Amino acid sequence: MIYLLINAVVHTHDDSLPIAQALAVRDGRIVEVGGSDEILWLREDDYEVIDLDGRTVVPVSGMLAPGKPANFNVLDGENTVEAWLEGVRRMVRP
């Protein structure tokens, strides 16, 4: 399955693209980082679109870039509302 996380403020920590709107995750790794429209083009037979509604995505360590492990937190203000580890949602809060 591929997860398409859209409508976010993604802090990549990658100098070539410091801020993005969306990212795609498959098999524990980031497939692509970019705009929501371009990420939605990655829909496959088995996919889930997750609208983050303007929340902030920050890496747990390293950077968020294609090929890197999908380890990140989703923040609503200063509160973590989702934690992803190796591409799996480990915690989800309303």
Q: Residue 56: name the closest of 64, 45, 48 by CA.
A: 64
- Domains of the chain in start order, with CATH, are 2-92 (2.30.40.10)
Return the CA Rg of the chain.
Answer: 12
Neighbouring-strand partners of residue 83: 73, 91
pTM of the predicted model, to two decimals? 0.93
Each of the 94 residues of the chain gets a pLDDT tens digit; together they read: 999 999 999 999 999 999 999 999 999 999 999 999 999 999 989 999 999 999 999 999 899 999 999 999 999 999 999 999 999 998 887 6
> Tokens in use for 33?
């980082």
